Amino acid sequence: MLMVYLYIISLAYAVKYIKEGSINTYYYMLLLSLLTIPLLGVFLISADLENFPFKYKSIENKKKIALFISIFNFLLSLFIFIFFDFSYNQFQFVLEPHNISEYPFYLGLDGISIYFVLLTTFIMPITILSN
C-alpha cells in the first residue's frame, strides 16, 4: 500500500515538474515503474479473480502472467539501459519526491547499479521458464 501511495505522490510531482518544464516526462517515472509493475503482477496472480472473464486459477495461467510481467520489466530495464548516459558521473533517473510524511524515498541509478538492475530483470524470466 505504501508503494501505491508513493507512486501517486510521485505522479503528482511529475505533473508539477513537467508543467514547469524542468524534467523530461519519460525519465521521471521509469524506476518507480520498474518497482510497481511486479507488484501489479503479484496482485493479478494472488487475487481471486473469479468474476473476471479470464480464469487465473490454473497454474499455467499464473506462470504466463508472471512470465509476461517479468519480460515487460526486463524490456523496461533495457529501455533504461539504452538511455543511460555513461559519461555522466552522478545518479540518473532520479526520483526525489519530498513531503512524503516521515519516509525519505529516493531512487536513482549509478554506473554500477544499472548492471545489477539489468541482471536481475534478465534472470527473472529465465527462472520462471525453468520451473
Which residue range(s) make up the domain with 38?
A: 2-130
- State if pTM tops 0.85: no
Is residue 118 within 8 A of residue 81, CB to CB? The reply is yes
Question: Lowest-pLDDT range, 23-32, 38-47, 107-116?
Answer: 23-32
Q: How high is the pLDDT of residue 36?
A: 86
Domain count of the fold of the chain: 1
Higher model confidence: residue 123 or residue 30?
123
Averaged over 87-108, what is the pLDDT?
A: 75
**When comparing pLDDT for 110 and 25, which is higher?**
110
Q: 11-25: string of b/e by CB count within 10 Å (b at 16+)?
A: eebbeeeeeeeeeee
